[in-house]
Structure formats: structure tokens, C-alpha cells
Structure 1
């Protein structure tokens, strides 16, 4: 790549190791959070007896790493081994770390594909879906329409945290439609700024608010987002 340095605004925290990897390739990442995640404490998930009664041997479904991590916090010292159905990438990584005794029985990069993967198993009749107050409807609706009972537990709130950005960046990382909405509620972007999206859902949200170039990460995880960005700037002398 050239000796130029590129500046990236990342709209949520990512591991320091990835920031260093980007820096090693001449890409400086600045992190500003545009979404605040607030746990929601549900009475039905209070106390070990209640928790074990709800979880039973029912598979758990996750479409975000936030839901995985917050459920792990709620459980505290309670160890479980329920089967897991989840989005691949960051969410699967979080699930494997949070629930090492559980098996990942279905995974896919997007909600509708995950629902179809779960239906193909033909042995899921009930699922506990842990999510935030803002979530895509495809997974629960597809499962419900197929006759699967979906017990939905909203265990966190996804609150916009818009901030005016004065600095110029060559690119901006977006990891969710919510972050897109929060960012653009307070900002516009120069025509030469590239938008990097974690997946097609986030890319579609970007297309509704900007005509700028949109690059979709090769996979739905932070590592792939950084590698996609490195590859882009390696091959485009911007």
C-alpha cells in the first residue's frame, strides 16, 4: 500500500488488537460510541429457580452479541448447557465464550437465514429468544409462522447516542442500522468518505441516508470489518 495514512471512525468499541492491526497497515481508527446499551432486569429472570424454570432444556436464540453478554451477566454463577441458535461472526464468538458447555446447533449470518436453519433441524418446538428493544422481526416471525413457540425476552435497550463529528474521516464503520440512524441524525458525511457496513442489513440502512460508497464486510464480525478495510485501502490509492 502507499505511505498514506487513512482515518477511520468506528461507531462502537472493537478490540484494541484490531485497532493495532489496522495501525500496522497505515489505518488509524478512532472509536466513538453512537449507541448506548442498557441492560433490562426482568422479574422473570430474577433468582436461580425462576431462571432454571424458564430456560429448562429449551434452545436459546441470539441475534446480537449484546444479548449473549447481558444474559451471561444476568445468570451470574448459574451454569447452563442449553443448545444455542445464533447469528454467525461476533454473536457466535460471544456465545461460545459465554456458554462453553452449550452446543451451537444452528447459525447463519442473518436472521431469516438463521430461522430457516432452525426449521431445517425439525426438532425445535419452542425457543427462548433473547434480544434488545430494537431488533429485526424476521427470526421470531418466521419461526412463529412455522408453528414454533417463541418466548421473547427483551434484556437490553438500544439507545441512540448521537454526537456531532467535526473531524474528517476516510471511512466510517457501521455495525447496525441503529448506529446508522444515530450517526446520521447529527451528521452528514463528505462525498469521499467510504461507509463500511457489517452486513447487508446495515448496508441497506446506509443506502436510505447516503449515496456514498458502501463496502460490506466479508463476514459479520469486527475482525472481518478491519480486514475488509485494509484490503480496500491496499487496492485503492484514495
Structure 2
């Protein structure tokens, strides 16, 4: 990689220190957001969420956006008796930081389907509350309902596609969600040599019907792991 600079497009914001670290490894990353996330503000949500803080409930998060949007309704209080099931990486970090949840009460996985399997394997989960966005994927709630576990979905944020036509050619593109995949490919086509990097299997699955390009799944669900995956790939190919 030292003899060639690689040009990457990231479809979401990345921390400045991570961009600098990538630059030092010969990778120049350009940021363009392809979705817009807007927390939902309503008295109805406040009236539903705040009583839950005092209850022993099983709660599911599959995105950090849902954690942040739900936490905004908590008014400085924290759920002491929530059993939280969430995806690893940014979502777990948001749970620990915004909900102050003890690690003993957090169950994680890297994929929604296997997270659902963990919930079912517990054997003592009467129902779950699923905080999500308006474009949530159905794998987890559908699987739980099929196995007799009721799911209350509380939609706390809206995701809107914000397509941008890309004129440059990139060596790789970072995709962090199926919504970003849909937004990107609604107005763009990729040259055959551009590599698609997906944050997880769900995002990779969204890419597969839209492109024949190589798809590389990140070794983990954090932005840092995505960057490290790309660095390793280009160093070895």
C-alpha cells in the first residue's frame, strides 16, 4: 500500500482520527452521506418510553441511532432493570454510554438473526421491546414472532435516502447499512474494479442483488474495523 494511494468513498461520517490513520496507511477516504437520520419527537413516544424505565423489560437495539433517539426521551434517568440485546460495535457502545447499562445485562451479536437466536435460547423472554427506525429490517422481529415471542416495535427515528451521483472512480466504497446501499445504487453504477466493503452480513446481503463487484465483509462492526479490513485487503491484493 505504501507505493500506491487508494481512494475510498465512505457513505457515512467517520472520526477525524480514523481518517488521519487511514491517510498514514496510504488510504484517502472521502465522506458523502447517502441517508439522513432524523429522531422522531412526539409526546406519544415520551409517554410510552418513560414508564418503561421503571420496568423489568427485555429491550432490543440493532442500531446506534435507535439508542440515541430513545435515550433522548429519558430525561437524565436510566433504565436500571433492562435486559438489553443489541448488535456489537457502535450499537453496544451507544448502549453503554447513553443508557449506562451494566455489561452483565447486555447480550450482543454481530447479526440480527443470530441475536434473535440468542434471545430465543434464553427460554425466559416473555416479550421484547424493539426500538428501531422506520426502515428497520424484518429478520429479528419476524423470527421472534414466529417462535412465539411478542415484539412491540417503537419507531424512534426516520431514515430518508439522500442519493448523490458520484462522478469519481474509487478503489473501494464503505457501506454501513442497507439503506445506504439502496440510496447509492438508486443513482450510481460501479466500475468493475471497485471493491464494496460491507459492515456486516445484512449490508452485504443488500449489496448482492445490486452489483457483481467484489464484496468484502468487515471483520467487525465498528468503523475502525471497517478501515482495518480495507487496509488488510489492499495490502494483500
1:91 pairs with 2:60: no
- Structure 1 residues 17 and 124, CA gap change in structure 2 (3 angstroms): same
Structure 1 range deviating more: 162-171 or 74-83:
74-83
Moved over 4 A (4+): none
Cα distance, 1:137 vs structure 2:
1.0
Structure 1 counterpart of 2:50:
52
Mapped partners of 2:44, 2:137: distance in 1: 23
Structure 2 counterpart of 1:79:
78
Mapped partners of 1:125, 1:41: distance in 2: 29
Alignment check: 8 A CA contact 2:173 2:197 kept: yes
**SS at the partner of 2:73?**
helix
Mapped partners of 2:124, 2:26: distance in 1: 49
Structure 1 range deviating more: 97-106 or 79-88:
97-106
List per-residue Cα deviations over 1:128-181 (Å, max 9, x = no partner). 100001111121122222222211101111100001111221110001111111
Output the TM-score relative to the length of structure 2: 0.93
Structure 1 counterpart of 2:228:
227
Cα distance, 1:98 vs structure 2:
1.3
Cα distance, 1:29 vs structure 2:
0.6
Mapped partners of 2:213, 2:39: distance in 1: 34
Cα distance, 1:43 vs structure 2:
3.3
Unaligned runs of 5+ in 1: none
Alignment check: 8 A CA contact 1:197 1:216 kept: yes
Mapped partners of 1:231, 1:117: distance in 2: 31
Structure 1 range deviating more: 34-43 or 63-72:
34-43
Structure 1 counterpart of 2:60:
61
Structure 1 counterpart of 2:15:
15
Mapped partners of 1:13, 1:76: distance in 2: 27
Structure 1 counterpart of 2:173:
172
**SS at the partner of 1:46?**
helix
Unaligned runs of 5+ in 2: none
Output the TM-score relative to the length of structure 1: 0.92
**SS at the partner of 2:151?**
strand
